[in-house]
Amino acid sequence: MNFYSLNKQAPEVSFKEAVLKGLASDKGLYFPTSIKPLPNSFFESIGDLSYEEIAFEAIHQFVTAEISNEDLKRIISETLSFDFPVVTLDKNISSLELFHGPTMAFKDVGARFMSRCLRLFHSEQKNDITVLVATSGDTGGAVANGFLGVKGVKVVILYPKDKVSKVQEKQLTTLGQNITALEVDGFFDDCQDMVKKAFLDRQITDHIQLTSANSINVARWLPQMFYFFFAYKQLYKNHKKIVFSVPSGNFGNICAGLMAQKLGLPIHHFIAANNTNQVVTDYLETENYQPKPTVQTISNAMDVGNPSNFIRIQELFKNEFSNLKAHLSSSSFSDSSTVEGIKELYSDYNYIADPHGAIGFLAAKEYQQKYPDTHCVFLETAHPSKFLETVEKAIDTKVELPSQIKAVINKEKKSIKISTYDELKSILLN
């Protein structure tokens, strides 16, 4: 399968090249040249297939020719070493828990899949690869963990000082080995700007091979389709109109869900659940796409003022606004509503959710007031203990720390403090 740049000013590339480059030379995001729906027989028998078999069918067409079936099966099996349970809260609302991986956020699957692709591709070439990534919290930990100890790959993570949670900071600063954490005196947007600048800096790119592990990378984006298939497998026998409410920031996850639908997965509708960074909510109302500066919220992984993957969603719907609107709704919630959502989930369902999942829940409930005959699944994208202070305060109860978190919380933090681009550059070149 080839991939083209959505800016249409760069040549088509193979899956391998798209993964190694991250972004096309014209700065466009890569998109597959064709999307072939899966056969009906697959959906009819999905209840009898294992997660690994389902994942193989879902992603096979996009990676074939570059990755042998045998390698793909191994990569999938190493990636999916934990569960993806649907927890039913009442007869028409469920939570899809995506936090059972090593760093307890849904980004583990994409990061683990991508690191294994890079390891495979690296073994076919000589040069080391440097993965450069900016994080607002969860990406850093998932990428650090997914790439830890991978030969020939160095990882450099930029995160904004004092703006990620304690647990998130520990997850990305305590691993060592091939992982370097840079603590940037600034906001997430400053980290992202430095990363973008490095990708355009010939003095760097002439010397080292850089790639990105943000959701713009196809190897991180596409495996996120798996979740929607896995939830469908668990729900389809009892529910007809399945709707997903996806807490969204950079819109990679929901875009993967829309891809799954394009492959034929019978999903009734999608809801993009947002915090006050609501450029897409506004767009669906006004047809006017207006990026805004980022606003800081308690659901920090969704603090994105200009979601990178939205352009892929536009492409999926051939830029037809009415078609997009028929498949996708969006609503936005303030921090105080988010806290109310966490409280309500706890008091009404005895369910402890993190702030992102709580927004997914609120958006699902709002949708169901209009469409009560649907079954809404909100994605619980992170474990509540990753946002311990917010959650414990909201429910006035202690949250039990899972073993994955206990394992890092007392480890020693190791980071390099930087405040300028030149400091980043000298670290990369040494």
Q: Which residues contribute to the site for ligand PLP (CB under 6 A)?
A: 105, 107, 138, 215, 247-253, 301-302, 356, 381-382
Please give the C-alpha separations between residue 287 and each of 282, 309, 357, in angstroms, as whole numbers. 8, 17, 27
Closest C-alpha among 390, 381, 309, 312 to residue 346: 390
- Catalytic entry in 8, 36, 73, 107: 107
Q: How far apart are CA 272 and CA 263, in angstroms?
A: 20
C-alpha 66/C-alpha 59 separation (Å) is 12
Instruction: Check if 425 is active-site.
Output: no
Q: Given the complex with ligand PLP, which of 250 and 276 has the nearer CB atom? A: 250
Closest distance to ligand PLP from the beta carbon of 24 (Å): 20
Determine the Cα–Cα distance for residues 136 and 300; give it in Å rounded to an integer: 7
Least distance to ligand PLP, CB of residue 74, Å: 26
For residue 133, the one-letter residue type is V
Q: Which is nearer to ligand PLP, 239 or 356 (by Cβ)?
A: 356
HSE-CB for 292 with a 13 A CA cutoff? 15
Q: Which is nearer to ligand PLP, 170 or 356 (CB)?
A: 356
**Nearer to ligand PLP (CB atom), residue 281 or residue 428:** 281
Kindly state the smallest distance separating residue 379's Cβ from ligand PLP, in Å. 8
- Least distance to ligand PLP from the beta carbon of 386, Å? 7
DSSP for 104-155, please give it.
Answer: SBTHHHHHHHHHHHHHHHHTTSSS-EEEEEE-SSHHHHHHHHHHTT-TTEEE
The contacts of residue 190 (CB under 8 Å, 6+ apart) are 160, 184
Least separation in angstroms between residue 300's CB and ligand PLP is 9
Minimum Å gap between C-beta 203 and ligand PLP is 31
Closest CB to ligand PLP among 107 and 116? 107
CA distances 99 to 84, 86, 298, Å, are: 8, 12, 18
- Report which of 292, 254, 297, 290 is spatially closest to residue 276, judged by C-alpha positions: 297
Residue written as token pair 């994080």: 135
Among 47, 65, 49, residue whose Cα is nearest residue 57: 49
User: Measured from the CB atom, is 265 or 301 closer to ligand PLP?
Assistant: 301
Question: Helices (H) and strands (E) in the chain — how many of each?
Answer: 20, 14
Residues recognised as catalytic:
107
